[in-house]
Structure 1
Amino acid sequence: MSKLPTVHDVARVAGVSRQTVSNVLNSPDIVRPDTRDRVRRAIDSLGYRPHASARRLRTQKSSTIGIRLDPMLDGISGSILDRFLHALTEQADAIGLRILLFTATGPEDEIRQFGRLIDGSDVDAFVLTSTFHGDPRTEWLIEHEQTFVTFGRPWGIDDMNDPRHAWVDVDGRAGVRAATESLLYRGLSRIGFLGWPAGSGTGDERSGGWRDAMTAAGLGEGLEMLQETAVDTVSAAREASDRLIARIGDLDAVVAASDSLALGAVVQTGGALPVIGFDNTPVSAAMGFSSVDQRLDEVAAGVLALLTDAEGSADVARHRLITPELVVRSSHPPMVPDARM
């Protein structure tokens, strides 16, 4: 097994001293441009990466981002966070940052963990997931002047555009609207919606996308009859699908706020109706139903861009809304205009 390149190797290849290499890494402005370029070429050619512990001693920074590992409620919804964490870790590693995972029993416990990690200088910044109405974590981090980015908008508090609260989110309203429009394009009109109980910012946004599409198509009357809610489990979705089918005998299709709900609809209808989910989990691929992909690689890239621009450059937006993508599959594929062009 070949050994990793060292600062001695970089200095030898570049024809400079170890101190010059150190200056290029830590104080590049004091090094002549031609020498700096020569050292950087040597670093690239050797694949050298500064030792994280040594860098921490020099800079008093850990180059580490803390993020809570949420409990997996079920294998379907849990895969979303897994994919996000993988994308975040992979992209962070590429720019010399590390991810530290920690657990907490709830928001208040997570805040206590923030304090512990800050006191120990274990992390430089935080990424928050699973945002919700009145989330106290963001207020605490702002008050304690900590660098953070949330994956999710600040639902229910008055800092949607506060530059101190950087966030990246997926436009669920646009994603569900596109899913519903694809079914309307097929000539279907009795399109039901399976969503979460009211009060969830994310869930309400996704429900709004279905309403937008139906209303724009002149089908806005009586939408309450076409909508059912359930907690995010397959069994609850099956029961909600039963209620919807019993009420709407000639249902054409179903759009769901998640793949868990979509799977419940697919199972309950025996695959007789087109169903579109949200999250594009492995379950949607295995079962063959269409779903909205959150483009988590782009979410992770946005989170890291905001974290590494913690000072808030004037030309960098502090809030990013990612447009998701409809992934078409199944024996009842929704027709979309682009698919025929």
Structure 2
Amino acid sequence: MVKIARWNYDGGTQSGFVDGGSCYALPTGQGVQTLLDAGLEETLGLARQTIGSGLAVPLADVQLLAPLLPATIRDFVAFEEHVEGVRKSIDGVAGVVPEWYEAPTFYFTNPHTVTGTGKVIGIPAGCEDLDFETEVAAVVGRVPGSDGRNLTAAEAHRHIFGYTVLNDWSARDLQRREMKVSLGPCKGKDFASTLGPWIVTADEFEDLHDAEGFLPVSMAVEVNGETIGQDLLSNMGWPFAELVAYASQDSVVRPGDVLGSGTCGSGCLAELWGRNGSKTPLPLKTGDVVRMTVGGIGSIENTVGERREAVTRVPARPRPRSRVAAAVTSGV
């Protein structure tokens, strides 16, 4: 299994491959983006060469970082069960809107607040309902001869370089207010995302795809050691290849782009709040430990930190309704 990672070791940041209990660094000046730009086939060859060199440090001695610094992050809502439960929690309305079935929907989130496993995630200012979202993300790599535009599903499948675990942290109370403006989430989402613990290259999953292109791998989330939810990645409404293809329509996907699956069924608290009719389980609090595990990839774990205290919202000032400009005199 080829696993690509970034880590801190001996005062510096390195990128390379994890094999067994050892980390094998790429040469100085090369990083994960180098591999994504090279494409999957070249990367597999470089992995064999690098691991074969025998120059390694123990995995136990490094601090894993987010496995890449994404160019963009598109996060889909591809699990019907999740959409149904969260809609009840956020909007107080049962069911799934018909538009969800017509085409995949995603939003862009902040690539600059991505962090890795083991990091403390602070509670954003003004948030009382901190939540997690259990997801898998596909990472885009280069395909020779393709510019990443208007891809078919078959072409998009080749652009999937690998997969990683994604936690799309969510401030649900901020999100509820923002969604009423009908533009999408902003401060309810952009404060943190966790990717990790590494990227597992797509070839490792090739034989697992079913006839429709779905991956029946397990997804689970725990809080303080207690299982909160579990699902199969194959319960998505669309396979990843179709999500990548859709993202590329009249647009482009490039090496370093990350596309999230959206939250799996029972993979967040808000979905359970919608189904239970109350905030049970309780929102996350300082000191809680959230652990997500995906079959064939691994686990990420983060501890919830302190809440940042600050003014987070400034009301708009009332504006006059006049459409006629006041007369201006120059004094000349």
| TM-score, structure 2 as length reference | 0.24
More strand by share: 2
| TM-score, structure 1 as length reference | 0.24
More helix by share: 1
Higher RCO by CA contacts (8 Å cutoff, separation 6 or greater): 2
Task: Specify the structure having the higher radius of gyration (Cα).
Answer: 1
